Amino acid sequence: MLKQFLNKIPRKSPKPDAIDAEEIDHGDDSNGFQCSLGGATFSGRFNVVKRVSSAVFPTSGTEAVDPRMSFKDVSNSQRQNLFLSKLNLCCQVYDFNDHDKNYSQINLKHETLIELVDFISSGSAKFNDVTIAAICKMCASNLFRVFPPKYHSNSMVGEGVDVEEPVFDPAWSHLQMVYDLLLRFVSCNYLDLKLTRKYVDHSFILRLLNLFDSEDPRERDCLKTVLHKIYGKFMVHRPFIRKAVSNIIYRFVFETERHNGIAELLEIFGSVISGFALPLKEEHKIFLLRALISLHKPKLLGIYHQQLTYCIVQFIEKDQTLASGVVRGLLKYWPITNSQKELMFLSELEEVLEMMNMAEFQKVMGPLFRRISSCLNSSHYQVAERAHLLWNNERIFRLVSQNQQTIIPLIVSALEHNAQNHWNQAVLNLTRNLQKTLLEMDEQLVISCQRAVEEKSSTLISTSEKRRAAWEHLEITARDSQNSAGNAACHVTG
Mapped onto helix, strand or coil, the DSSP state of residue 314 is: helix
CB atoms within 10 A of CB 213: 17
Q: What percent of the chain has pLDDT over 70?
A: 81
Do 352 and 364 fall within a single domain?
yes
pLDDT, residue 491, reads 60
Three-state DSSP class for residue 240: helix
pLDDT digits (tens, 9 = 90+) for 268-300: 999 999 999 999 999 999 999 999 999 999 999
Q: Kindly state whether residue 476 falls inside one of the protein's structural domains.
A: no
Q: Is 65 part of any domain? A: yes
Residue 6 falls inside a structural domain: no
191 contacts: CB under 8 Å, gap ≥ 6: 127, 185, 233
Residues 51 and 110 in one domain: yes
Within a domain: 344 = yes
- 31-35 mean pLDDT: 32
Residues 339, 383: contact at Cβ < 8 Å? yes
Same domain, 218 and 135: no
Same domain membership, residue 239 and residue 112 = no
CA distance 163 to 155: 6
At 206, which helix (H) or strand (E)? helix 202-210
Mean pLDDT of 337-341: 94
Q: Are residues 45 and 172 in the same domain?
A: yes
Q: Mean pLDDT across the stretch 11-39?
A: 36
CA–CA separation, 114 and 304 (whole Å): 34
| Domain membership flag for residue 131 | yes
**Is there a single domain that holds both residue 325 and residue 373?**
yes
> How many other C-beta atoms can be found within 10 angstroms of the C-beta atom of residue 280?
17
Buried-exposed string 379-412: b where 16+ CB fall within 10 A, e elsewhere: eebbbbbbbbebbeeeebeebbeebeeebbbbbb
Confirm whether 138 is domain-assigned.
yes
Instruction: For residues 361 and 277, state if they share a domain.
Output: no
Q: Indicate the pLDDT class of residue 153, thresholds 50, 70 and 90.
A: very low
339-353, 404-418, 471-485: least confident range: 471-485
Expressed as residue numbers, the domain containing 84 is 16-146+168-192
* pLDDT tens digit sequence for 180-194: 999 999 999 999 999
H or E segment to which residue 248 belongs: helix 238-251
Quote the number of domains for the chain.
3
306/404 same-domain check: no
Integer Cα distance of 68 and 111 in angstroms: 9
Together in a domain, 183 and 205: no
Residue 99: per-residue pLDDT: 65
Do residues 289 and 344 share a domain? no
Q: Rounded to the nearest 10 degrees, what angle do helices 425-441 and 443-493 cross at? A: 130
Q: DSSP letters of 359-417?
A: HHHHHHHHHHHHHHHHHHT-SSHHHHHHHHHGGG-HHHHHHHHTTHHHHHHHHHHHHHH
pLDDT at 248: 97
Assign residue 408 a region: left if phi > 0, alpha if psi is -120 to 50, beta otherwise?
alpha
Q: Write the Ramachandran bin of 163: left for phi over 0, alpha for psi from -120 to 50, otherwise beta.
A: beta
Both 97 and 177 in one domain: the answer is yes
**Amino acid (one-letter) located at 127:** F
Model confidence over 83-133: pLDDT tens digits?
999 999 999 998 887 767 778 888 999 999 999 999 999 988 889 999 999
Q: Does 207 reside within a domain?
A: yes
Q: What is the mean pLDDT of residues 343-362?
A: 96
Residue 258 lies in a domain: yes
Which phi and psi angles does 11 have, rounded to 5°?
-90, 145
Tell which of 268, 285, 318 closes a domain.
318
Per-state percent for the chain, helix, strand, coil, to nearest 5: 70, 0, 30
Nearest-angstrom CA–CA distance, 242 and 31: 53
Look at residue 472 and tell me whether its pLDDT is greater than 90: no
- Is residue 47 over pLDDT 60? no
Whether 253 and 378 map to the same domain: the answer is no
Averaged confidence pLDDT in the chain = 83
Quick: pLDDT tens for 199-247. 999 999 999 999 999 999 999 999 999 999 999 999 999 999 999 999 9
Q: 426 with 381: CB under 8 angstroms?
A: yes
Residue 50 predicted with pLDDT over 50: no
Among residues 301, 318, 335, the one where a domain terminates is: 318
Alpha carbons 330 and 340: distance in angstroms, whole number = 15
Share above pLDDT 90 across residues of the chain, in percent, rounded to a whole number: 62
Give the C-alpha separation, 408 to 405, whole Å. Answer: 6
pLDDT of residue 25: 37
Contact between 127 and 196 under an 8 Å Cβ cutoff? The reply is yes
**What CA–CA distance (Å, rounded) separates 268 from 261?**
11
pLDDT of residue 485: 72
Task: Please indicate whether residue 21 or residue 464 has the higher confidence score (pLDDT).
Answer: 464
Least confident interval from 70-79, 225-234, 285-294, 352-361:
70-79
Please tell me whether the peptide bond between 279 and the residue prior to it is cis, using omega within 30 degrees of 0: yes
